[in-house]
Structure 1
């Protein structure tokens, strides 16, 4: 069996497909993967024996600075990505039995699969990306927020925005492939049977007419890497610290300063992850430690709480470790959704606004570090599964048989 996996985004978009690729290869499948051209993704795939197919512009180049690109720049990037997908995916899918596409940015994938006679599977990493009257669509950078409150109406406006951006290009390419036009680009990409790679205990799918969602659980791999010796020494030198990290988000240094000040006011130490924003310490006091890429699965079991931006992967890893969470969500994608889930489940708290002040962070830490929150986080951690990628791999292979 040959499988093409395709996504576009930061590490949080790529890593779940890496997990699926590993599980597929363990079962004898051949895997190729379309990813952004950034060197770190090529190195990651080389490490698991998967051939990368670079598609689209560098994601790191888009993430530079502390602000998102302008609406016009985002629109041009999206248009260029569609053209790149139609140019490169046909060769990548040749000889494959199935194409698995992750994320709404995969506009060309279903059409390429259809033209090649290849099965197509769409996967989302959060329920909020799939239309349902139970929740509103997530904010999409560069597109205006609908000025309506009803969830159904907001999803209708969302579909209109997707059509405005992509319909002409998609149907032009479909015509060139001898395929009929589509009316709703978003629903065409999602299909009526999308997969949801999120844990049912953490982010369940609310049953919705018209969508037969297959929820597999989060796609992740066990990480056995040891922690660096200097980090271990810091952990052993005092009480468990609070981890502060924002991954690939455009987090400002002021957020680190306010966070560390709030933690110090309550007598807590801090770990500051540099991330893509290259965050650093605010001074040279010995109650803080700066770190780069480390094993979060191992580290989160040794911290008092995890402060993060609301990414699906970080939320799931912290939840599985039983660590309380403080989410400072960026107003994009699924970050707000995961912030709400953490608060609703009582395993932490969420803050409004991209740069909360020391006072609001202090209140959030009092909630997150309270005994009852720690107890709920530990209880939920025992329920979060780790076999989602294996479940998905078996589903793909069973369908092929």
Structure 2
């Protein structure tokens, strides 16, 4: 029997890349795989000949580049209906639906209506209810008062899911002939979610009501060569400090602050443009701006990585054994910043828009020999077989 699997994914590159890694492993086990994901990633999936069913409009918004506030609000409003329409069609003939990441509203209902296996997967512990940590804050959330305990925060989180998606979920389920749902979050997550996170970087403590299986991180092996200009820059001097914030809408001055802090340590700088369109501040030869490149190879060639704290970048830097400076912007990034600091493989900036002085102080710690040594120790503990573990589990569940 050939297993047929639909993967549903949403978000930016850091949310989609692990799903691609899982798809590749499933295919190695003989499964037929298709993926519902934003159309921005059609070219990336085509590189590996993995079928992609466009899910919603491009993440980059109506004008290209970083999405506007109006784009984001419209995206959220349309999201449940888009999922029900797209996933219902894409799941036809499949044996399982796997939902990855946040706000996966429709996938379980589609699987239920078809009578096929459903699996929810989180890429960070803070999506999963636990007395050991608070919920992941959503964009625009204010920090909760310290007097509010985790149990109450999770109850508030459940109410938030119901308020935002409850009516849309029940409407979509009614169209499929299914009864309404009382708790949207717990319906989506189920009581047996997977956690696709390396247990060294993001350990899970067992929590009441959840039987979590931690598979390890899902990674796409990257064998791309560096562009010639980047290779020449790396070979021309001492290891630079990398600065990149991926799809984050960072403040305009962060590139200047980073370059000044890096120069204060007599280091060269590599600036990744990203969605924030970071740019160089002058034409001196000690700095270079780059686009999308092979992070798995690049991070082994740099002195430190300054980044936003996305799960993918944190894992890539940790695997490379390179010290990190995390400048969290939103959602799960504060969690990863704490983990980097707790593990002793780098440090974090409390300010999402740090100045050169605070970044320079953070680099003091990151560039210390003891931090580099500890980063190397932790790198040796991290495994890269999470997608293989997950593929075996899913194939066993449906065959």
Q: TM-score, normalised by structure 1?
A: 0.95
Structure 2 counterpart of 1:2: 4
Q: Give SS of 1:81's match.
A: helix
Contact 1:93/1:99 (8 A) holds in 2: yes
Structure 2 counterpart of 1:43: 43
Q: Structure 1 unaligned runs (5+)?
A: none
- 1: CA distance between counterparts of 2:25 and 2:298? 24
Contact 1:324/1:347 (8 A) holds in 2: yes
Deviations 1:351-383 (A, max 9, x none): 012211111111100011111111110000011
Contact 1:63/1:250 (8 A) holds in 2: no
Q: CA deviation at 1:65?
A: 7.7
Residues 53-132 of structure 1: matches in 2 within 5 Å?
Answer: 53-61=53-61, 69=69, 74-132=72-130
How many residues are aligned here? 396
- 1: CA distance between counterparts of 2:128 and 2:363? 32
Structure 2 counterpart of 1:32: 34
Q: CA deviation at 1:67?
A: 9.0
Seen in structure 2, the aligned counterparts of structure 1 residues 63 and 267 have a Cα distance that, compared at 3 Å, is: farther
Q: CA deviation at 1:37?
A: 2.2
Structure 1 counterpart of 2:369: 371
- 2: CA distance between counterparts of 1:393 and 1:67? 34
Q: CA deviation at 1:104?
A: 2.4
Residues 1-400 of structure 1: matches in 2 within 5 Å?
Answer: 1-38=3-40, 41-61=41-61, 69=69, 74-142=72-140, 146-147=144-145, 149-330=148-329, 332-400=330-398
Seen in structure 2, the aligned counterparts of structure 1 residues 142 and 251 have a Cα distance that, compared at 3 Å, is: closer
Q: CA deviation at 1:156?
A: 0.6
- 2: CA distance between counterparts of 1:181 and 1:235? 57
Deviations 1:219-266 (A, max 9, x none): 002211121222122112211110001111112331010011011111
- 2: CA distance between counterparts of 1:6 and 1:348? 33
Q: CA deviation at 1:76?
A: 4.1
- 1: CA distance between counterparts of 2:109 and 2:101? 15
Seen in structure 2, the aligned counterparts of structure 1 residues 261 and 335 have a Cα distance that, compared at 3 Å, is: same
- 2: CA distance between counterparts of 1:154 and 1:283? 46
Contact 1:64/1:277 (8 A) holds in 2: no
Q: CA deviation at 1:74?
A: 4.6
- 2: CA distance between counterparts of 1:314 and 1:119? 31
Q: Structure 2 unaligned runs (5+)?
A: none
Contact 2:158/2:184 (8 A) holds in 1: yes
Q: CA deviation at 1:157?
A: 0.5
Q: CA deviation at 1:68?
A: 7.1
- 2: CA distance between counterparts of 1:32 and 1:129? 25
RMSD across aligned C-alpha pairs, in angstroms?
A: 1.7
Q: CA deviation at 1:78?
A: 1.9
- 1: CA distance between counterparts of 2:222 and 2:67? 32
Contact 1:258/1:356 (8 A) holds in 2: yes
Deviates more, 1:143-152 or 1:108-117: 143-152
Q: CA deviation at 1:63?
A: 10
Q: CA deviation at 1:145?
A: 5.6
Seen in structure 2, the aligned counterparts of structure 1 residues 36 and 164 have a Cα distance that, compared at 3 Å, is: same
- 2: CA distance between counterparts of 1:144 and 1:351? 18
Q: TM-score, normalised by structure 2?
A: 0.95
Seen in structure 2, the aligned counterparts of structure 1 residues 146 and 156 have a Cα distance that, compared at 3 Å, is: farther
- 1: CA distance between counterparts of 2:339 and 2:68? 25
Deviates more, 1:256-265 or 1:60-69: 60-69
- 2: CA distance between counterparts of 1:85 and 1:23? 25
Q: Give SS of 2:60's match.
A: helix
